[in-house]
């Protein structure tokens, strides 16, 4: 059974990596939403995409049931601007690219901002998945590169967060870590057989360090980090209906893009954000 799950996961991720490697068109994207909305969602595919049935090749892969839109539904009467974009990294918040600058969606009347960014910088997640979770190429050199990428991220986050604060001086800003992909202990999970215990544990450790970097950068600028620590049992290795990160996207209770938040994961994240906004 574990072998079948592992093969299904590898096939789903290989298809996902192919899409990611193709990338978006070179032309700058048009504004995806009005500028200066009261609530603005910024970031990458973890908050841009939604259910598998709404997957689209449109610019930024924004879905009608993504995290930002679920947050907006929880705070009715607040104008919403969705500027999150699949594949975005920290540079896309501040510079003119095919995915940015996302900060142009902010303004002095913006009251609430949520941010999910950092995992795509230097293809950190992409290479981690390719080499350490679906491949057998998680070599010492690959591990050292992943560690160096995480170590370099702090300055990039500082610059991106400073630009957000400048563009939205009056906003309550919350930042997100990434929902955990691999468990602390992969025993009994398909990852133990497919990737190997040591590789799965290494990937988990890198993601924990990534979330810590995000938390520290948020603290330096006065933003609120929401989910540095997360309850166990909701990784790709969780039981059906309990996963917050999709395995293949079509298993019971997932309803999400592979290795991205399931519907339950998106709802959990949206509630964290909306509750933080309402607390002030």
Q: Using alpha carbons only, give the angle 249, 23, 207 rounded to the nearest 5 degrees.
A: 55
Q: Widest CA span of the chain, in angstroms?
A: 54
Helices (H), the chain: 2-22, 45-48, 67-74, 91-94, 124-128, 140-167, 190-194, 197-221, 263-279
Is 45 noted as a catalytic residue in this protein?
yes
| Active-site hit among 45, 61, 116, 194 | 45
Residue with tokens 């998680």: 138
Residue 100 DSSP SS3: strand
| Active-site hit among 41, 51, 116, 260 | 260
End-to-end CA distance of the chain: 47
Instruction: Tell me the C-alpha distance between 261 and 264, whole Å.
Output: 8
Is 260 noted as a catalytic residue in this protein?
yes
Dihedral, 70, 71, 74, 78 alpha carbons, nearest 10 = -120
Instruction: Tell me the C-alpha distance between 200 and 109, whole Å.
Output: 44
Q: So which residues are the catalytic ones? A: 45, 260
């Amino acid at each position: 059974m574990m072998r079948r799950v592992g093969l299904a996961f590898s096939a789903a991720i290989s298809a996902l990596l192919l899409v990611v490697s193709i990338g978006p068109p070179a032309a700058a994207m048009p504004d995806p939403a009005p500028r200066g909305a009261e609530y603005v969602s910024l970031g990458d595919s973890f908050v841009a995409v939604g259910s598998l049935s709404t997957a689209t090749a449109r610019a930024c892969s924004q879905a009608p049931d993504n995290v930002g839109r679920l947050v907006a539904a929880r705070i009715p009467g607040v104008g919403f601007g969705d500027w999150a974009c699949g594949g975005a990294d920290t540079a896309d918040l501040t510079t003119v690219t095919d995915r940015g600058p996302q900060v142009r969606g902010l303004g002095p009347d913006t009251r609430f901002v949520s941010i999910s960014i950092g995992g795509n910088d230097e293809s950190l997640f992409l290479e981690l998945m390719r080499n350490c979770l679906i491949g057998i190429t998680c070599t010492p050199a690959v591990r050292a590169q992943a560690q160096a990428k995480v170590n370099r991220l702090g300055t990039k986050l500082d610059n991106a967060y400073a630009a957000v604060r400048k563009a939205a001086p009056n906003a309550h800003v919350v930042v997100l870590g990434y929902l955990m992909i691999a468990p602390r202990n992969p025993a009994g999970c398909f990852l133990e057989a497919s990737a190997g215990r040591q590789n799965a544990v290494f990937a988990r450790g890198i993601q924990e360090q990534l979330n810590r970097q995000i938390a520290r950068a948020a603290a330096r600028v006065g933003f609120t980090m929401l989910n540095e620590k997360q309850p166990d049992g909701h990784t790709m290795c969780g039981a059906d209906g309990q996963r917050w990160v999709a395995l293949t996207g079509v298993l019971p209770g997932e309803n999400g893009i592979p290795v991205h938040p399931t519907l339950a994961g998106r709802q959990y994240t949206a509630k964290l954000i909306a509750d933080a906004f309402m607390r002030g």
